[in-house]
A and B are shown apart, each in its own frame.
Chain A
Amino acid sequence: LRGGEVSKMAGADGDDSLYPIAVLIDELRNEDVQLRLNSIKKLSTIALALGVERTRTELLPFLTDTIYDEDEVLLALAEQLGNFTMLVGGPEYVHCLLPPLESLATVEETVVRDKAVESLRKISQEHSPVDLEVHFEPLVKRLASGDWFTSRTSACGLFSVCYPRVSSTVKAEIRQHFRTLCSDDTPMVRRAAASKLGEFAKVLELEYVKSDIISLFTALASDEQDSVRLLAVEACVSIATLLPQEDLETLVMPTLRQAAEDKSWRVRYMVADKFSELQKAVGPEITKNDLVPAFQNLLKDCEAEVRAAAANKVKEFCENLPEDNREQIIMTHILPCVKELVSDTNQHVKSALASVIMGLSTILGKDNTIEHLLPLFLAQLKDECPEVRLNIISNLDCVNEVIGIRQLSQSLLPAIVELAEDAKWRVRLAIIEYMPLLAGQLGVEFFDEKLNTLCMAWLIDHVYAIREAATCNLMKLVEKFGAEWAQNTIVPKVLGMANDPNYLHRMTTLFCINALSKACGQEITTKQMLPVVLKMSNDQVANVRFNVAKSLQKIGPILDSNALQTEVKPVLEKLASDTDMDVKYFAQEAISGKSFPITEYPPESRQHFYKIFIDVQDQLVNV
């Protein structure tokens, strides 16, 4: 069964003639950009209606010719064409998609070009080795030698997908093209080449990695523009992974050392940012001799950006040190720098450090933690910047495992209280989110004594997001400490708020009940909560009343049928004839107990559908 017959099949329903190509093409060139965009996004529908043959002979030439359009339309087109293989008749015809994608890969707008390259990479895999050499590779060559930088930039991303599947002569040509682009006159192209250097190295034979890639890497890493040099750092990781250990010292390390001390902070930042990857790539010996001093320098860098990036890597770096003398290296080389960073002048450095510093305790063990790290944690808990304190608190679990949280609790409490009352609601929100964790670690006694009041105070915060989070927090606490605890400590307080003069606080009672009823169980819900909810149905504020209806719907499943019939139903019926339309609406919703049916396909199922379609087409075409 050939493509032609598939297209006949498409027309077998007899309505093919309903869609002459001209009408469809008119849609694709509608004057209104939005309509044009809509049509392009449904290009697969159009192609399906045309059948594979006319898609190849009529639609694609049209698309190739009308490449001058709004970037948004072009972007949609570039994306569509990546999924078009089956619509043009399967892998043997996939090369038909190359001309429009080639034009798209040369446009100015980066997002369009990138998408075109992505689609080209995708369909390159669907080319047979022969087609790859006959159709795809020439395209890459044309792009690589285009006059405007855009096409050369795009070419950089295509070498690695065709290299593994072509003959050795063509391979040599590809290497040559890549070399040329690495020393291109335009920095944009050099950047593109540098960013693909690692990827390209991975598909090359080791001998060529040594002979070709290393010299390119060295050249890019000492480019006159720092934006190029910093990309070489990324490539460094891949290259170092590919080379045998004994070659690293001569082929990679001189360049890496130079990058770690580059005069541009951007390059040093990149080294710091990629430090863990670099460390893994060069192995333990070089790490000990070279990376440890380099890391110390980065932690002491004069630019805060670099210090912060390095500080972020402290834990990972220490974890990956060779175990035999890990502790000694940390204690003598890293810890002194870390100590200095605790009192850095820049808050981002301190907060980056605070997000990882607790992780050191597992590496260093109990005694070292108590002696050396604890003072640092305590200092950071008192830091002026809330983010630093938060980062410490959010990582308490690591310390808990090693020394137990009690060591910290004296300092912890003031820090938590202060964060709980911070003027920025996002800070308050963040600390609330750690409450269940803290409660678990500190235990119920400590919690009741010191933190319970805070948790209740958040319920009357003036920011809704905080009240909402506080409600959710209570639920998690009940899950942790149990229903009995809830009954004794929080339920009375929550229910007490039902009489508050502020309607927002009264509503909070309802929200709490919604959240807590399940965790508290039928007994508490029916005996203690339900009466309060029912009573609130007489509230004078409509918002409270319709929330009563919503609450009743929520807690309904937990109540027994007797309570539902005798207590809930009459109240809901009363609310259903309320004067306020919202109250009525929600009461009726609750009575009918209907949830909203989902009419649309969820996106996954659609995709699944499409996949089946592709599979079948594949089979039909290949037969």
Chain B
Amino acid sequence: METTKLPPSSPSSPTTSFSVPSAEKVDGFPRRSMRRARQRRSHSSSQFRYQSSQVELTPLPLLKDAPVAELHDLFCKKLQQCCVLFDFLDCVADLKGKEIKRAALNELVESVATSRGVLIEPLYPEAIKMISVNIFRTLPPSENPEFDPEEDEPTLEASWPHLQLVYEFFLRFLESPDFQPSMAKRYVDQKFVLQLLELFDSEDPREREYLKTILHRVYGKLLGLRAYIRKQINNIFLRFIYETEHFNGVAELLEILGSIINGFALPLKSEHKQFLVRVLIPLHTAKSLSIFHAQLAYCVVQFMEKDATVTEYIIRGLLKYWPKTCTQKEVMFLGEIEEILDVIEPSQFMRIQEPLFKQIAACISSPHFQVAERALYFWNNEYILSLIEENCQVILPLVFATLYRVSKEHWNQTIVSLIYNVLKTFMEMNSKLFDDLTASYKVEKQKELKRERERAELWRGLEEYQERRMQMLTEAARNQRNLQERGERGDTLNPSSPQTAHSDQPEPKPSGASSGAGESAT
């Protein structure tokens, strides 16, 4: 049976090599069987154990039968009843109690959703308390430390039957026409929001979906918390990027940010620009980019559409973090670049075309055909093509040599034919320039080779020089050691001027190498 795995940092027995994933891949079978065992598992948070004595629940009268005068009181009692937590790992434990709580939660949800005038001030602290007690918990360790959201089944939250209703209640509560932000803000405070944000790390996608909608509503209704929420999301992202590389709710948080960015006022505050440059762009470095890339690219494009002047930061940022070895990510980057180019202003395009097309040329010469293909598809985009045409004088020289070389060398026929099309397009755009470049291709190639030779020459010289210096200094050290030894033996040499000593002292056996060193030190 495969159950919880230790966090990677844990100290363990000498047999840890068994859990090395790559080794398991070599072995072939165990990984698959382990994954099958992992599927459909659910776990429960450890909060349950903190409830020392289990309370016996007794069903209360139905809300809909309650006389108006007692409605609020009953509502409050039901909220308190729902603060009792149940052990869901043991699925047969206290079935009666679980059912009573479920029914109560259902009633609360329905009541908040449909009837007006229920939400009066004294209910706010009770409702928030019930929500907090149920949803806030330390998330349990992941069942699978190498959890890959693209391949592995997520571990589901065992107490979901209750948790879902609590989230549903919270959502209805926030969406109720009776909801008064001025009353809620006393209870839905910074500490509450911080805990809410931490829950986004839940492995259960159903929970994250609820959290997303809820946080969005909180952001929309409680204006005083907005800056705080943004700051905390920043912190979560920064921890994700630079510390843990693990957080399950990045995509959901980005989705919320997408709509937040949409609402930013112009001109953009420096806080927001900083967020773009120091958080959103570095998010591209994440190993798990594929999980949230769509949301991330959306946010980036939103920024550009708000304020075209950030374009240069974005493109230069992406170029800085361009993937070196992961072709899958490279294709994603190219996709994002195309999304950006789709909405770029021509004046901005001119500012970044040079570094950008150098990178595109590098992609075209990638031996991975999907990367090359994705880059070459840019020429099928009419808007991009029009930008290229306007700036043909600059761009063609940047990419020409690559296109020319790759058209002759690439192993994949599709790429070769795509390149021919691109070359043809260029020829039609500016045949004069095209011919000039073709003519000078060989010369340029020669020049490049020459530069390379010169560089090699330079480094050879430098290294020889270093070698010589080292030898000289070793020699000097040896002389000095000899000198000291002699000094210890009682020879009279002036100990205060060893630097003259090591060059002037009579060498007993002057070798070829040492004489040179001796001279240069004089």
Residues of A within 8 A of B (CB): 1, 9-10, 12-13, 15, 18-19, 23, 27, 31, 35, 42, 45-46, 48-49, 70, 108-110, 148-149, 186-188, 191, 224, 226-227, 263-266, 269, 273, 302-305, 308-309, 312, 345-348, 351-352, 354-355, 384, 387, 390-391, 394, 423-427, 430, 609-610, 612-613, 615-617, 619-620, 623
Do residues B46 and A265 form an inter-chain contact, with CB atoms below 8 A? yes
Q: How many A-B residue pairs have CB under 8 A?
A: 159
Do residues B239 and A305 form an inter-chain contact, with CB atoms below 8 A? no
Q: How far is the CA of A83 from the CA of B7 in the complex (A)?
A: 36
Of A48, A347, A425, the residue contacting B465 (CB under 8 A) is: A48
Which B residues lie within 8 Å of A266 (CB)?
A: 138
Asked if B391 CB lies within 8 Å of chain A CBs, one says no
Of B14, B48, B141, B358, the residue contacting A265 (CB under 8 A) is: B141
Which A residues lie within 8 Å of B29 (CB)?
A: 423
CB distance from A207 to the nearest CB of B (A): 34
Which A residues lie within 8 Å of B239 (CB)?
A: 187-188, 227
Do residues B50 and A263 form an inter-chain contact, with CB atoms below 8 A? yes
Which B residues lie within 8 Å of A19 (CB)?
A: 458, 461-462
Q: Which of B68-76, B122-130, B332-340, B474-482 contacts A (4 or more CB under 8 A)?
A: B474-482
Do residues A188 and B235 form an inter-chain contact, with CB atoms below 8 A? yes
Which A residues lie within 8 Å of B23 (CB)?
A: 426
Do residues A616 and B320 form an inter-chain contact, with CB atoms below 8 A? no
Asked if B294 CB lies within 8 Å of chain A CBs, one says no
Do residues B455 and A187 form an inter-chain contact, with CB atoms below 8 A? no
CB distance from A193 to the nearest CB of B (A): 14
CB distance from A46 to the nearest CB of B (A): 7
Do residues B3 and A355 form an inter-chain contact, with CB atoms below 8 A? no
Do residues A265 and B4 form an inter-chain contact, with CB atoms below 8 A? no
Residues of B within 8 A of A (CB): 1-7, 10-15, 17-18, 23, 27, 29-30, 46-50, 138, 140-141, 191, 194, 235, 238-239, 242-243, 278, 282, 320, 358, 455, 458-459, 461-463, 465-466, 468-470, 473-474, 476-477, 480, 497-499, 520-521
Which B residues lie within 8 Å of A423 (CB)?
A: 29
Do residues A616 and B50 form an inter-chain contact, with CB atoms below 8 A? no
Top 5 nearest A-B pairs (CB, nearest first) are A355-B13, A12-B520, A264-B138, A304-B4, A616-B473
Taking CB as reference atom, which chain A residue is nearest B521? A9
CB distance from B476 to the nearest CB of A (A): 5
Given contacts A224-B191, A305-B10, contact A263 B138 (CB under 8 A): yes
Given contacts A427-B18, A619-B480, contact A387 B13 (CB under 8 A): yes
CB distance from A358 to the nearest CB of B (A): 12
Do residues A312 and B520 form an inter-chain contact, with CB atoms below 8 A? no
Q: How far is the CA of A346 from the CA of B455 in the complex (A)?
A: 60
Do residues B477 and A352 form an inter-chain contact, with CB atoms below 8 A? no
Which B residues lie within 8 Å of A148 (CB)?
A: 278
Taking CB as reference atom, which chain B residue is nearest A430? B15
Do residues B458 and A108 form an inter-chain contact, with CB atoms below 8 A? no
Which B residues lie within 8 Å of A1 (CB)?
A: 499
Q: How far is the CA of A49 from the CA of B477 in the complex (A)?
A: 20
Do residues B14 and A394 form an inter-chain contact, with CB atoms below 8 A? yes
Q: How far is the CA of A463 from the CA of B465 in the complex (A)?
A: 52
Which B residues lie within 8 Å of A616 (CB)?
A: 473-474, 476-477, 480
Q: How far is the CA of A355 from the CA of B29 in the complex (A)?
A: 26
Given contacts A42-B459, A263-B50, contact A612 B18 (CB under 8 A): no
Q: How far is the CA of A353 from the CA of B500 in the complex (A)?
A: 68
Do residues B18 and A302 form an inter-chain contact, with CB atoms below 8 A? no
Do residues B50 and A149 form an inter-chain contact, with CB atoms below 8 A? no
Do residues A265 and B138 form an inter-chain contact, with CB atoms below 8 A? yes
Do residues B465 and A15 form an inter-chain contact, with CB atoms below 8 A? yes
Of B12, B282, B358, B477, the residue contacting A312 (CB under 8 A) is: B12
Of A45, A312, A623, the residue contacting B11 (CB under 8 A) is: A312
Which A residues lie within 8 Å of B4 (CB)?
A: 303-305, 346, 348
22 contacts between A and B (CB under 8 A): A13-B520, A15-B461, A31-B358, A42-B462, A49-B466, A187-B235, A187-B239, A227-B239, A269-B10, A302-B46, A303-B4, A303-B46, A303-B141, A305-B4, A346-B4, A355-B12, A355-B13, A391-B15, A426-B27, A613-B470, A616-B476, A619-B498
Taking A35-B455, A620-B499 as known contacts, 19 extra A-B pairs with beta carbons closer than 8 A to each other, sorted by chain A number, are: A13-B465, A19-B462, A23-B458, A188-B239, A304-B141, A305-B4, A305-B141, A345-B3, A346-B3, A348-B4, A351-B15, A394-B14, A424-B30, A427-B18, A430-B15, A609-B470, A613-B473, A619-B498, A623-B497
CB distance from A555 to the nearest CB of B (A): 33
Given contacts A49-B466, A303-B46, contact A186 B235 (CB under 8 A): yes
Do residues A424 and B15 form an inter-chain contact, with CB atoms below 8 A? no
Taking CB as reference atom, which chain A residue is nearest B478? A612
Q: How far is the CA of A615 from the CA of B484 in the complex (A)?
A: 15
Do residues A352 and B141 form an inter-chain contact, with CB atoms below 8 A? no
Do residues A108 and B278 form an inter-chain contact, with CB atoms below 8 A? yes
Q: How far is the CA of A229 from the CA of B277 in the complex (A)?
A: 30
Which A residues lie within 8 Å of B17 (CB)?
A: 426
Do residues B30 and A352 form an inter-chain contact, with CB atoms below 8 A? no
Do residues B463 and A45 form an inter-chain contact, with CB atoms below 8 A? yes
Q: How far is the CA of A612 from the CA of B459 in the complex (A)?
A: 23
Do residues B3 and A347 form an inter-chain contact, with CB atoms below 8 A? yes
Which A residues lie within 8 Å of B358 (CB)?
A: 31
CB distance from A533 to the nearest CB of B (A): 32
Q: How far is the CA of A308 from the CA of B8 in the complex (A)?
A: 13
Q: How far is the CA of A425 from the CA of B498 in the complex (A)?
A: 65
CB distance from B337 to the nearest CB of A (A): 18
Taking CB as reference atom, which chain A residue is nearest B2? A347
Q: How far is the CA of A191 from the CA of B235 in the complex (A)?
A: 12
CB distance from B122 to the nearest CB of A (A): 28
CB distance from B30 to the nearest CB of A (A): 6
Q: How far is the CA of A9 from the CA of B4 in the complex (A)?
A: 65
Which B residues lie within 8 Å of A15 (CB)?
A: 461, 465
Taking CB as reference atom, which chain A residue is nearest B320? A70
Of B27, B48, B461, B497, the residue contacting A425 (CB under 8 A) is: B27
CB distance from A159 to the nearest CB of B (A): 21
Which B residues lie within 8 Å of A617 (CB)?
A: 473
Q: How far is the CA of A615 from the CA of B477 in the complex (A)?
A: 8
Given contacts A19-B462, A384-B1, contact A10 B469 (CB under 8 A): yes
Do residues A303 and B480 form an inter-chain contact, with CB atoms below 8 A? no
Which A residues lie within 8 Å of B235 (CB)?
A: 186-188
Given contacts A27-B458, A390-B15, A430-B15, contact A188 B474 (CB under 8 A): no
Of B47, B138, B242, B462, the residue contacting A110 (CB under 8 A) is: B242
CB distance from B146 to the nearest CB of A (A): 14
Given contacts A188-B238, A613-B474, contact A45 B462 (CB under 8 A): yes
Q: How far is the CA of A387 from the CA of B11 in the complex (A)?
A: 15
Taking CB as reference atom, which chain B residue is nearest A308? B6
CB distance from B357 to the nearest CB of A (A): 13
CB distance from B456 to the nearest CB of A (A): 11
Which B residues lie within 8 Å of A265 (CB)?
A: 46, 138, 140-141
Taking CB as reference atom, which chain B residue is nearest A349? B4
Do residues A623 and B477 form an inter-chain contact, with CB atoms below 8 A? no
Which A residues lie within 8 Å of B5 (CB)?
A: 348
Do residues A612 and B12 form an inter-chain contact, with CB atoms below 8 A? no
Which A residues lie within 8 Å of B7 (CB)?
A: 269, 305
Q: How far is the CA of A12 from the CA of B5 in the complex (A)?
A: 64
CB distance from B519 to the nearest CB of A (A): 8
Q: How far is the CA of A12 from the CA of B468 in the complex (A)?
A: 12
Q: How far is the CA of A85 from the CA of B323 in the complex (A)?
A: 35
Q: How far is the CA of A384 from the CA of B4 in the complex (A)?
A: 16
Do residues A226 and B455 form an inter-chain contact, with CB atoms below 8 A? no
Which B residues lie within 8 Å of A352 (CB)?
A: 12-13
Which B residues lie within 8 Å of A187 (CB)?
A: 235, 239
Do residues B14 and A424 form an inter-chain contact, with CB atoms below 8 A? no
Do residues A387 and B469 form an inter-chain contact, with CB atoms below 8 A? no
Given contacts A187-B235, A347-B1, contact A623 B469 (CB under 8 A): no
Q: How far is the CA of A528 from the CA of B141 in the complex (A)?
A: 59
Taking CB as reference atom, which chain B residue is nearest A610? B470
CB distance from A78 to the nearest CB of B (A): 16
Do residues B462 and A49 form an inter-chain contact, with CB atoms below 8 A? yes
Q: How far is the CA of A392 from the CA of B238 in the complex (A)?
A: 43
